[in-house]
Amino acid sequence: MSEKSKKSSMRSGLPWLWLTLVALVVDQLTKYWTVQALALHESYEILSFFNFTYARNYGAAFSFLGDAGGWQKYLFSGIAFLVSAYLLYSMKKTSATQPWLNCSYALILSGAIGNVMDRLMFGYVVDFLDFDLGFYRWPTFNVADIAIFIGAAMMIIDSLFWAEKREKSKQNEEKKDNNNDE
């Protein structure tokens, strides 16, 4: 392995934290705007099927455990801290030459941090994106939820299509290095 390729493979995915910061700022600014511009449950129609509606989510996804009495705030915050630590560790261990995977980690991290900030500051998550198709109303969500969804989808796509190729490439590279050492 050449010295240049050794250095590039050693660089971590931590530089992708810029994406975490950008998505987190967008998330927090949109939530701030929502709280300032709308009263609780007030709705502003954007399109016939899409509204900005200020809602509070005391639970997790789809308000899971939303009426559990308050203890869930600590559970979900703890989970978010553990997931965030794991994602930071994963970004540190993942090569900078894998932007797709690092981007997925960065997006999920921003969503986890954005929602845990709400939980710790307010005791609930501010949601405002509201889709009502007439026959089905999707649960209200926010930018952090979008970041988590996109990041998770990217991670799934990576595991389905590229993880095996990456592992084979790594094994071939190790074989070449072992043959060169002999």
Which is the catalytic residue, given 27, 118, 127, 130? 127
Which is the catalytic residue, given 27, 118, 130, 145? 145
Q: Pairing mode, if any, of strands 125-131 and 43-47?
A: unpaired
Q: How many CB atoms lie within 10 A of CB 44?
A: 13
145 is catalytic: yes
Nearest to 152 by CA among 121, 111, 92, 124: 111
127 is catalytic: yes
Token code pair at residue 53? 């509606």
* Distance from C-alpha of 78 to C-alpha of 162, rounded to nearest angstrom: 31
Residue at 177: amino acid letter = D
Sequence-ordered strand ranges (E) for the chain? 43-47, 50-57, 125-131
Residues known to be catalytic: 127, 145
